[in-house]
């Protein structure tokens, strides 16, 4: 049968706790299906590794990861290592090295999930397509006149034509396949170079898809409408930083960070794609078995879709929903008293029942 090679990077804080539950789910699927199996290798990279070896990953880490079909990552960053070092040397390095330029983050209110907007809105179902390779995260900038009263810090947003076009086109293709609208979220009024350019490219690409409804919002107004009228949004395409912020906002509307998943995709498949919950290492609850593994498990569902095993991807999401509608085994963030491991086991039980 087929073998899917998965590189596992549990990382920091609650990362290892939630990734463990993701693998429980993969194991159950392998046992039930029989037509494929997963081969995984764990990489102990992260902040503890940094304290031991002075680096976040092996020097040839990117080469080591290259041959895998997918990377499954928990979280990176922990007090004790400056965040800009831990993130740039591991998570952001992987996204960039493997040109994972599409960050797919579903903001969808699953059955059984709590929302501060309920009972008003049941139809929160957007797909945020976040540009994931450049923009405000280009890493370009400078620190000038350090230690003087004239000190200046520069952070340059880089929006290339290729980079902007390809992400917008990806959003249109996604909308084309699902019959949905595309909304661009930008900020051309203030960001008079980058976002004016973004808006122009959005206009150009939209002309190639005359049958698709398009909308364009400024990011400030969009933030309000996310909360007051989320049903306006279907496929959303936005820049790296705006997408980062808007998807945590979206998570707050659909069950919290414990239930928000993301996929970092390289559509050419020349290099591995990476699947991870959108939350961080949650130092405030780390090591206590309090973390909600459902976000990480949803990311497993995205990974299965990516492998072409969509039936399993859908089943995993259904099992997550069943876990929440049953409601007897949930972590504290969802009002329960169960441990991370108990919730993972519950999802596996739901998968068994769905056989």
In the beta sheet, which residues pair with residue 237? 129, 184
**Of 206 and 281, CB closest to Mn ion:** 281
> Closest distance between Mn ion and the C-beta of residue 83, in Å?
12
Q: For residues 72 and 277, what is the distance between their CA atoms, to the nearest angstrom?
A: 9
Minimum gap (Å) between residue 65 Cβ and ligand IPM: 17
Q: Which residue has the tokens 């899917």?
A: 4
Interface with ligand NAD includes 117 (CB under 6 A)? no
3-state secondary structure of 67: coil
User: Considering CB distances under 5 to 8 angstroms, the limit depending on partner class, which of ligand NAD, Mn ion, ligand IPM, none binds residue 258?
Assistant: ligand NAD
Number of shown-chain residues binding ligand NAD (CB under 6 A):
23
d(CA 179, CA 230) in angstroms, rounded, equals: 18
Q: How far apart are CA 99 and CA 134, in angstroms?
A: 10
Query: Of residues 83, 229, 310, 311, which one binds ligand NAD by CB under 6 A?
Result: 83
Residue nearest to Mn ion (CB): 244
Q: Is 263 left (phi over 0), alpha (psi -120 to 50) or beta?
A: beta
Q: 185 is in the binding site of which of ligand IPM, ligand NAD, Mn ion, none (Cβ under 5 to 8 A by kind)?
A: none
| Binding to ligand NAD in span 276-335, by CB under 6 A | 276, 279-285, 291-292, 295, 333
Q: DSSP label at 88?
A: I
The set of residues, in sequence order, having a beta carbon less than 8 Å from that of 155 and lying 6+ positions away, is 136, 140, 141
DSSP state of 90: I
User: Structure tokens of 284?
Assistant: 């405030």
Rg of the chain in Å (alpha carbons)? 20
Tokens of 248: 């945590």
- For ligand IPM, the closer of residues 87 and 291 by Cβ is 87
Binding of ligand NAD at residue 110 (CB under 6 A)? no
Under the rule (CB under 6 A), what is the footprint of ligand IPM? 77, 87, 91-92, 244, 278, 280
Give the interface with Mn ion as residue ranges (CB under 5 A): 244
Q: Which is nearer to ligand IPM, 80 or 327 (CB)?
A: 80
Instruction: Using CB under 6 A, list all residues that contact ligand NAD.
Output: 14, 18, 75-78, 83, 87, 91, 257-258, 276, 279-285, 291-292, 295, 333
């Amino acid at each position: 049968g087929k073998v899917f090679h998965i590189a596992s990077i549990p990382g920091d804080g609650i990362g290892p706790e939630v990734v463990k539950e993701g693998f429980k789910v993969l194991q159950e699927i392998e046992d039930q299906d029989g037509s494929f199996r997963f081969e995984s290798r764990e990489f102990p990279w992260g902040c503890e590794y940094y304290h031991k070896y002075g680096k976040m990953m092996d020097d040839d880490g990117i080469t080591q990861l290259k041959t895998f079909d997918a990377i499954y990552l928990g979280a990176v960053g922990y007090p004790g290592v400056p965040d800009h070092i831990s993130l740039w040397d591991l998570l952001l390095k992987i996204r960039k090295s493997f040109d994972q330029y599409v960050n797919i983050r579903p903001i969808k209110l699953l059955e059984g999930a709590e929302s501060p907007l309920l009972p008003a809105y049941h139809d929160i179902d957007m797909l945020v397509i976040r540009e994931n390779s450049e923009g405000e995260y280009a890493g370009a900038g400078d620190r000038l006149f350090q230690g003087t009263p004239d000190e200046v810090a520069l952070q340059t947003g880089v929006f290339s034509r290729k980079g902007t076009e390809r992400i917008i086109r990806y959003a249109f293709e996604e909308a084309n396949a699902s019959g949905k609208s595309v909304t661009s979220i930008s900020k051309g009024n203030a960001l008079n170079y980058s976002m004016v350019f973004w808006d122009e490219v959005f206009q150009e690409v939209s002309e190639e898809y005359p049958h698709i409804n398009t909308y364009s919002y400024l990011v400030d107004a969009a933030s309000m409408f996310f909360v007051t009228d989320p049903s306006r949004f279907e496929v959303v395409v936005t820049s790296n930083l705006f997408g980062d912020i808007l998807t945590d906002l979206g998570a707050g509307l659909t069950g919290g960070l414990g239930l928000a998943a993301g996929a970092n995709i390289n559509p050419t498949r020349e290099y591995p794609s990476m699947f991870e919950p959108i939350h961080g290492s949650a130092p405030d609850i780390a090591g206590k078995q309090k973390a909600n593994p459902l976000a990480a498990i949803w990311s497993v569902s995205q990974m299965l879709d990516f492998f072409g095993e969509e039936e399993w991807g859908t089943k995993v999401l259904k099992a997550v929903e069943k876990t929440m509608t049953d409601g007897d085994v949930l972590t504290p963030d969802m009002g329960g008293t169960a441990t991370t491991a108990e919730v993972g086991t519950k999802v596996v039980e739901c998968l068994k029942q769905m056989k």
